[in-house]
Amino acid sequence: MQLQGIELRYVLTMYLSQNGPATIVELIDALDRYGFCVRGRPSKAVSDALRWEIGRHRVRRLGRGMYAPAYIPHATEYRIINRVRT
């Protein structure tokens, strides 16, 4: 299944929330392992999606290519979980 936009952002945010810090390569591998793909260059798509989430303070950047979960309000977490499950 191809992910883009909000679905990609939510899947990545949920993955980081459940598994802790990860590199771009680890996130791409996880997407592949769960049967997801992204359009275009995967590293760019993932970093662009995470940049949006950093702007919303749900993900933080630890260094070059390394990201970690940040605080996610309960209502937002609930919405993310429900969106990812469907």
pLDDT at res. 83: 83
E-only strand ranges, 28-74 = 37-38, 59-63, 66-69
Q: What is the pLDDT along the chain (86 residues), one digit of tens a residue?
A: 899 999 999 999 999 999 999 999 999 999 999 999 999 999 999 999 999 999 999 999 999 999 999 999 899 888 888 888 77
Q: Within a 10 A sphere around the Cβ of 19, how many other Cβ atoms?
A: 12
Contact 56, 65 (CB under 8 A): no
Instruction: Name the CATH topology of 2-85.
Output: Arc Repressor Mutant, subunit A (1.10.10)
pTM above 0.75, yes or no: yes
Computed from CA positions of residues 29, 35, 40, 44, in that sequence, does the dihedral angle turn out positive or negative? negative
Total count of residues recorded for the chain: 86
- Containing H/E element for 82? helix 74-85
What are the extents of the domains in the chain?
Answer: 2-85
pLDDT at res. 40: 92
